Amino acid sequence: MSMKQVHVGIVGFGTVGRATADIIAKHGDLISQRSGVRLAVAAVCRRSSIEPGDTPTGARVYSDWKQLLQDPNVDVVVETMGGTGDSLQLVRGALEQGKPVVTANKNLLAGHGDELFSLAMSRKLPIGFEASVAGGIPILRVIHESTAGDRLQSVHGILNGTANYILTQMENRGIEFAEALAEAQKAGFAEADPSFDIDGQDARDKLCILARMAFEGALDVGRIPTYGIRHVRAIDIHSATRLDSTIRLVGSAEQTDTGVEVSVRPWLVNRRSMLAKVEGVNNAVFLVGDKIGTQMFYGRGAGGDATGSAVVSDLIEISRDFAAGQLHAKNIPGFLSSHQLELSETPRPVSWYLRLTVQDQRGIVARVAEVIAREAINIDSLEQEPHLPKDRVSFVITVEAVSEPVIRRAVNVINEFGFMVEPVLLLRIED
């Protein structure tokens, strides 16, 4: 029996693209045994020049993705370029030519998923996108297939490995954010321009995809309130420790009676919480459903091997159908239904952590406490670190559960005080 070969074209030959080619080369026999198809990398494309030794055996090398798209020998297109410029044109072009696509590009799908999944549906073609969220953790497949009989209430988790690595380093070594970031950059865990990771946009794009999958409706990624970890300081980690807690950047989407509550922000999480156990560049995603209860999925959230594995598992599924002449689009209601997810205007009350940095003068605590009391918020704890320079004193307040608009009103008033050196750092406290 001759085995059907499926020819893969990889556009964007960086970490993930290379790892994908490498897995196909190294595990090719295994994949054939399991799936009955043989994957072959027929072409790769990268703007910068590729060393000949780096090229998969037998693959043509293009420097322009448009050429790869025209290559009649490419059966399936893998997009690992990132961004939303060329990648959008590439995915659109591939689908228009009748070629299935596998993409690792969360930014593209969060921004243009509606268009691309509609196009795929009209062409009866699949888009594999497991690699776009949480690297090697098969969370999209789980939501789509394993919870098909359940109604999900929430999805939340640690979705950005760079931010988590920085927070873990700050915690383990007592260093400041800037130092931890510089080290993450040196270790290759953060980009030269790290803003996408540390300011939360990367987590936001992933959360957008997760929320659409979980709650089966459209969600404009720009409407997700997003806060990063840039303003978290060593003193916050220190205060967290005193509160038997640590800090994690969490993306969270929750279905409530008043609509979907969705945000990316740093949380204060208890040491005993599963979220606190997620260290370094790892990711973890929690699903809560009516029937399944709470599930957690943990693993490497980034890196070539993990993300490449997700690309390859999608490639295998698509190639099997391709070889059998049974390519088809999947029904992904979160990107295909006209239903819009409604965001809650009155989020449910949660507890908060506020860190204030002030020029010390008499009466500060009284004035801050008065603002908080005026909003009928109860203070749970208050601590001022001793021995700090007078022109930069930090103190930390935790408050009992109130809705976000209420605490924001208080924070906005506090931020206007002349003694404030910088804005309040506000952390949500995990339930």
Q: Which amino acids are annotated catalytic?
A: 206
Q: 267: closest CA among 233, 298, 302, 240?
A: 240
340 is an interface residue for its own copies by CB under 8 A: no
Judged by CB under 8 A, which stretch of 188-196, 232-240, 243-251, 272-280 contacts its own copies? 272-280
Closest CA to 251 of 199, 203, 301: 203
Give the side-chain half-sphere CA count within 13 A for 300: 12
Return the residue of 71, 217, 297, 384 that touches its own copies, per CB under 8 A.
Answer: 297
CA distance 24 to 31: 8
User: For residue 207, what is the DSSP state?
Assistant: H
Q: How far is the CB of 413 from its own copies (least distance, A)?
A: 40
Size of the site for its own copies (CB under 8 A): 52
Strands 76-79 and 37-45: unpaired
Percent composition of the chain: helix, strand, coil (DSSP 3-state, to 5):
40, 25, 35
> According to the binding rule CB under 8 A, does residue 259 interact with its own copies?
no
Does 80 sit near its own copies (CB under 8 A)? Answer: no
Cβ nearer to its own copies, comparing 44 with 306: 306
At 64, list the tokens: 């322009």
1 lines the binding site for its own copies (CB under 8 A): no
Of 50, 175, 296, 401, which one interacts with its own copies (CB under 8 A)?
296
Tokens standing for residue 378: 């109860």
Query: In terms of C-beta distances under 8 Å and separation of at least 24 residues, what long-range contacts does 386-395 make, across chains too?
Result: 390/359, 390/360, 391/359, 391/360, 391/421, 392/357, 392/358, 392/359, 392/421, 393/357, 393/358, 393/359, 393/360, 394/233, 394/235, 394/355, 394/356, 394/357, 394/358, 395/355, 395/356, 395/358, 395/365
Can you name the residues that pair with 356 across neighbouring β-strands? 395
Q: Residue 219: CB partners within 8 Å, gap ≥ 6?
A: 208, 211, 212, 260, 262, 334, 340, 341
Determine contact, residues 126/330, Cβ cutoff 8 Å. yes
Please identify, using beta-carbon distances, which residue of 86 and 130 lies nearer to its own copies.
130
- Does residue 299 bind its own copies (CB under 8 A)? yes
Least distance CB 172 / its own copies (angstroms): 12
Could you tell me the smallest distance in angstroms from the CB atom of residue 169 to its own copies? 17
In 215-279, the DSSP E strands lie at: 245-256, 259-270
The interface region with its own copies, picked from 99-107, 158-166, 289-297, 407-415 by CB under 8 A, is 289-297
Beta-carbon contacts of 382 under 8 Å, excluding residues fewer than 6 positions away, are: 365, 369, 395, 396, 397, 398
Nearer to its own copies, 4 or 27 (CB): 27
Among residues 71, 150, 176, 191, which is the contact residue for its own copies, using CB under 8 A? 150
Task: By CB under 8 A, tell whether 277 contacts its own copies.
Answer: yes
CB of 270 to its own copies, least distance (A): 12
Residue nearer to its own copies on the CB measure, 21 or 425:
21
Six-digit token string for 299? 């693993």
Q: Which is nearer to its own copies, 67 or 331 (CB)?
A: 331
**Stretch of 134-142, 240-248, 356-364, 406-414 contacting its own copies, by CB under 8 A:** 134-142
Site residues (CB under 8 A) for its own copies, limited to 187-216: 216
**Of residues 283 and 398, the one with the C-beta less far from its own copies:** 283
164 binding its own copies? (CB under 8 A): no
Residue 280 within binding range of its own copies, rule CB under 8 A: no
| Positions 22 through 61 that interact with its own copies (CB under 8 A) | 23-24, 27, 30-31, 33-36
Binding flag, residue 71, its own copies (CB under 8 A):
no
Selected range binding its own copies among 115-123, 181-189, 294-302, 404-412, rule: CB under 8 A: 294-302
User: How far, CA to CA in Å, does 148 sit from each of 36, 54, 211, 289, 333?
Assistant: 27, 41, 15, 11, 12
Q: Which is nearer to its own copies, 29 or 193 (CB)?
A: 29
Q: Any contact of residue 291 with its own copies (CB under 8 A)?
A: yes
What type of residue sits at position 425? L
User: Which residue lies nearer to its own copies by CB, 44 or 137?
Assistant: 137
Give dist(CA 181, CA 198) in Å, integer.
9
User: Interface residues with its own copies (CB under 8 A)?
Assistant: 19, 23-24, 27, 30-31, 33-36, 130, 136-138, 141-142, 145-151, 216, 272, 274, 277, 289-300, 303, 305-306, 308-310, 312-313, 315-317, 331, 333
